[in-house]
Chain A
Amino acid sequence: MAEMEQPKKVADRYLKQEVLGQGTYGVVFKATDTKTGETVAIKKIRIGKHKEGVNITALREIKMLKELKHPHIILLIDAFPHKQNLHLVFEFMETDLEGVIRDSNVFLSPADVKSYLLMTLKGLAYCHEKRVLHRDMKPNNLLIGPDGQLKLADFGLARIFGSPDRKFTHQVFARWYRAPELLFGAKQYGAAVDVWAAGCIFAELLLRRPFLQGNSDIDQLSKIFAAFGTPKADQWPDMKNLPDYVEYQFVPAPSLRSLFPTVSEDALDLLSKMFTYDPKARISIKQALEHRYFTFAPSPTDPAKLPKPVRKQETKASYGKHEAIKGISPPRKIRRVMPEHGRPDGMKSHVDKDQQAPMSLDFTVLAERPPNRPTITSADRSHLKRKLDLDFQ
């Protein structure tokens, strides 16, 4: 076959174009759907002869996205096996929210921030209404289309929640977006974990850098407590019963205003409600959408008019982690260490409990650079898999 000479059609339908990303599980490439004329992104996942058959992450993503159809959820157009690869065909997305947040040439007005958060929460509200937990909310998984519409992607960790006593693994979310109950090892949790992560994304939009950058699970809790104060029993009665609960030295909460000096009162109030410690008291996504932040001025920017990153190539949308794309991440810029980072670090009084200490070294060696964004693809991934297997037997 003369496959090499001309662009080949995959499955007689998709005209292959350039590769968007390459990683451990396979490749993402751009293509034209000859049936509709539309540009698509195709994620290729090797089938291989695994002991456990078809990649479970890919299957989760397919089963969820087949049922979830919403303007703020990535559209799965097709799924099919072809030549030793499972192909997932998605609508083509230009960039992701991480690319927007990081691009120092992009100015985000309060109305822009509101628009991005609104779209994020709308997508999430739909998931929760369908009783789906996303469990991997982070800017990198919020893709942005050519029309400025933001869509939730990467449902490889998503779970249906229903029976209240069902136990889940707590090893979900990239660490910086992990809710305190998960960091304390909660196995029974609900939609509130996505709310916390959405709060982190909101904060990141406002600050233009990840808000709580812990370099280990223990350090993550220290960072959270440094920002909001160590929770007291009356604030979060169930805390002490969580499996991995350890007492932390009491730290008083600085005023939220001091962490977000320039934001509106409404934004600050919503933030504080999304960062409520007790998951039962934390605002729901539905309530958050009804918060006055969204009804009061300024009104959210029309998505089509939202600012976009200038250097397109650097910020291609990633279509989820199971390809662990290397070529797509923009090069990290050297950044100043923010003053409030010094503080929580000094409070790390539980180093002995910190089993992930060696990992944190990787980050701290490069003191001037922000730590690499932790993903579940990286260190905790194998752990997660083991957990998942054990959890449900």
Chain B
Amino acid sequence: MADFQTSTQRAKWVFTPQKLAERYKAANQRAVQLLEKCGTTQVEVDASGSLTYPTENARDQAADKKLKPLSVDEERFMRAFYEAKVQEVCSAFEFPHKIQATALQYFKRFYLQWSVMQHHPKEIMLTCVYAACKIEENHVSAEEIGKGIKQDHHIILKYEMAVLQSLEFDLIVFAPYRAMEGFVSNMEEFLQARDDEIQKLESLLKAATAEADKIMLTDAPLLFPPGQLALAALRIANGVLGVVDFDRYLESIVSQPNSEHTTSHLSNLLDDIESLVKNYKYPSEKDMKHINRKLKSCLGHSSSHDESKKREKRSKHKSHRSSSDAPPNGPPAG
């Protein structure tokens, strides 16, 4: 779909930084309250998308332990870790950038509604990759994805509906990659490029694609339209390669009749995106160890029994041992 202007993404999924911070805070708070009230945060899901929240009687079992919730920053780390995993998984399957970007957007949008304490990000990450393939018409079966990375594919199928619903069924997502191609072919005209320059532009596009991959890991996709992400990626790459006079190119863009920006305004927006990339933080192993332990206890996954069951599943990957068959109201701690 070529029209971002009338898209659900523009209407519903681009936020101000303040609004975004509020959303993350609110999602975290909901999980914190669940933990206080029920002693656990895990929300159970079934394949038809129905959700089962922990109840207060779950509290009795956990009452002896004082569980600490993840902070907003710790949640951010947790998401960053699994967002990087989205890219890893997609690269392992050699999926196009578009699918990777769609999966990342899905993942980011999902965690506007939920805390990582309510739905484990690993499961959501896999489901987002699966759903992105499906929606981008690059169909790969859940089983294939599961097998390829040695994960139980039933989890994917179990979460699919809940993920789709959390996305409010807004499934078409705009990524910067297509826009970048558009800008680069536009630059050819702008430069009235000769053959050698066309080659340089090709390498610019390649470098910018890698920059866009980095941008996709930040909050930028929830804050800026894809065209601006594309320009930011191109500007960063051009900063190294020096193929075009970027300021003059920006001027040529804003001088077009339908442009809403001035050069300086657009330039500031691109600065903002660049600084998000510069300030991007990926958790250290030590951070992750700590956060992961906390997350497991919040999700009620800390008992050794539960862990061994999981490990068994992973090593044997039996054909049918779907956790969705488990009674939804059973105690979450197992």
Binding site for B on A (CB under 8 A): 47, 49-54, 56, 59, 62-64, 66-67, 69, 79-81, 83-86, 129-132, 159-160, 162, 388-389, 392-393
* Known A63-B172, A67-B7: A56·B48 in contact at CB below 8 Å: no
* Known A67-B172, A81-B49, A131-B2: A51·B137 in contact at CB below 8 Å: no
* Known A56-B134, A159-B137: A81·B1 in contact at CB below 8 Å: no
The complex places the Cα of A84 from the Cα of B50 at a distance, in Å, of 9
Q: Choose from A54, A83, A130, A392 the contact partner of B2 (Cβ within 8 Å).
A: A130
Q: Choose from B135, B142, B161, B178 the contact partner of A63 (Cβ within 8 Å).
A: B135
Asked if B138 and A54 make an inter-chain contact with CB atoms under 8 angstroms apart, the answer reads no
Q: Which residues on B sit within 8 Å (CB–CB) of A130?
A: 1-3
User: Considering only CB atoms, which chain A residue lies closest to B8 in the complex?
Assistant: A66
Asked if B48 and A81 make an inter-chain contact with CB atoms under 8 angstroms apart, the answer reads yes
User: Considering only CB atoms, which chain A residue lies closest to B142 in the complex?
Assistant: A53
Min Cβ gap A63→B in Å is 4
The complex places the Cα of A54 from the Cα of B48 at a distance, in Å, of 9
Binding site for A on B (CB under 8 A): 1-3, 6-8, 47-50, 130, 134-135, 137-143, 156-157, 160-161, 164-165, 169-172, 178, 324
* Known A53-B142, A53-B156: A81·B50 in contact at CB below 8 Å: yes
Asked if A52 and B1 make an inter-chain contact with CB atoms under 8 angstroms apart, the answer reads no
Asked if B48 and A53 make an inter-chain contact with CB atoms under 8 angstroms apart, the answer reads no
User: Considering only CB atoms, which chain A residue lies closest to B178 in the complex?
Assistant: A162
The complex places the Cα of A1 from the Cα of B227 at a distance, in Å, of 52
Q: Which residues on B sit within 8 Å (CB–CB) of A129?
A: 2-3
User: Considering only CB atoms, which chain B residue lies closest to A85 in the complex?
Assistant: B48
Q: Choose from A51, A62, A80, A81 the contact partner of B141 (Cβ within 8 Å).
A: A51
Q: Which residues on A sit within 8 Å (CB–CB) of B50?
A: 81, 83
Asked if B141 and A66 make an inter-chain contact with CB atoms under 8 angstroms apart, the answer reads no
Number of A-B contacts (CB under 8 A): 84
Asked if B164 and A67 make an inter-chain contact with CB atoms under 8 angstroms apart, the answer reads no
Q: Which residues on B sit within 8 Å (CB–CB) of A162?
A: 2, 178
Q: Choose from B3, B47, B156 the contact partner of A47 (Cβ within 8 Å).
A: B47
The complex places the Cα of A81 from the Cα of B170 at a distance, in Å, of 14
Min Cβ gap B167→A in Å is 10
The complex places the Cα of A51 from the Cα of B141 at a distance, in Å, of 8
Asked if A66 and B142 make an inter-chain contact with CB atoms under 8 angstroms apart, the answer reads no
The complex places the Cα of A67 from the Cα of B142 at a distance, in Å, of 26
User: Considering only CB atoms, which chain A residue lies closest to B159 in the complex?
Assistant: A53
Asked if B171 and A59 make an inter-chain contact with CB atoms under 8 angstroms apart, the answer reads yes
Asked if A66 and B161 make an inter-chain contact with CB atoms under 8 angstroms apart, the answer reads no
Min Cβ gap B299→A in Å is 23
Q: Could you name 12 residue pairs across A and B whose Cβ atoms are closer than 8 Å?
A: A51-B143, A52-B141, A53-B157, A63-B135, A63-B172, A66-B172, A129-B3, A131-B2, A132-B1, A159-B137, A160-B1, A160-B137
The complex places the Cα of A271 from the Cα of B161 at a distance, in Å, of 45
Asked if B138 and A59 make an inter-chain contact with CB atoms under 8 angstroms apart, the answer reads no
Q: Which residues on B sit within 8 Å (CB–CB) of A47?
A: 47-49, 161
Q: Which residues on B sit within 8 Å (CB–CB) of A52?
A: 141-142
Asked if B139 and A54 make an inter-chain contact with CB atoms under 8 angstroms apart, the answer reads no
User: Considering only CB atoms, which chain A residue lies closest to B141 in the complex?
Assistant: A52
Asked if A392 and B139 make an inter-chain contact with CB atoms under 8 angstroms apart, the answer reads yes
Sort A-B residue pairs by CB-CB distance and give the 8 closest, nearest first: A81-B49, A63-B171, A79-B169, A131-B2, A53-B160, A84-B48, A47-B48, A53-B157
Asked if B139 and A388 make an inter-chain contact with CB atoms under 8 angstroms apart, the answer reads yes
Min Cβ gap B75→A in Å is 26
The complex places the Cα of A56 from the Cα of B135 at a distance, in Å, of 8
The complex places the Cα of A80 from the Cα of B165 at a distance, in Å, of 7
Min Cβ gap B223→A in Å is 21
The complex places the Cα of A81 from the Cα of B159 at a distance, in Å, of 13
